Structure 1
Amino acid sequence: MSTGDKLAVAPILDRPDWFQPMNCTIARAIERVAPDWLRLIPAVAWQLRREQHETFNAAAKHAWQAKLAQFFAQQRASDETDFVATLVPVAMLRAIATRV
């Protein structure tokens, strides 16, 4: 990747650490990147993050569906449901809720 490419891509990938090895400040990088490219950086960064979230959500949904299918397969095999619960004091639940 060329220096100009790295200067344009670093903010998109949220990689400010790429500037230092090139002895470049963020201000200098903005100055060196062409105005047309500079205008695209926010939109490209948002699109990349949206795609990352969609990929993560799809993987999580797939994993959840696989676990659910496994659970139902076990249920059909045994015809019994074993639910285990742990009682948690209300104060502990409130403490957890305030941290979220």
Structure 2
Amino acid sequence: MRLTLRWFEEQWEIKPTQGAAAHLKQSILTWLEQAAQRFVQRLMADAEPQVWQTTDANGKRWWNAHDPATSRSLYNVPEAEMRAWLEQRYYPVKANASRA
């Protein structure tokens, strides 16, 4: 039996010996690999902005967002304003660019 661990671009192969100790070692290594993968996924998910829609009493849809990376939020704005807010997050405009 062989256990393969993958962490980013590196890969290790472990060939445990027979017995309960080897089984325990394999179980621990499998658990550690899964925990590390969940940790990285959680870090990546926490950095992404959360965006959702709400509808007012008249049936008009509004956009809302929260960016955990900057702690900035935006509430009840039209779609165009939400798009501009998201674009600014990924493509910030430099203040000196307009003076060039």
Instruction: Give the structure-2-normalised TM-score.
Output: 0.36
Where relative contact order (Cα < 8 A, 6+ residues apart) is larger, the structure is: 1
Task: Decide which structure has greater strand share.
Answer: 2
Task: Decide which structure has greater helix share.
Answer: 1
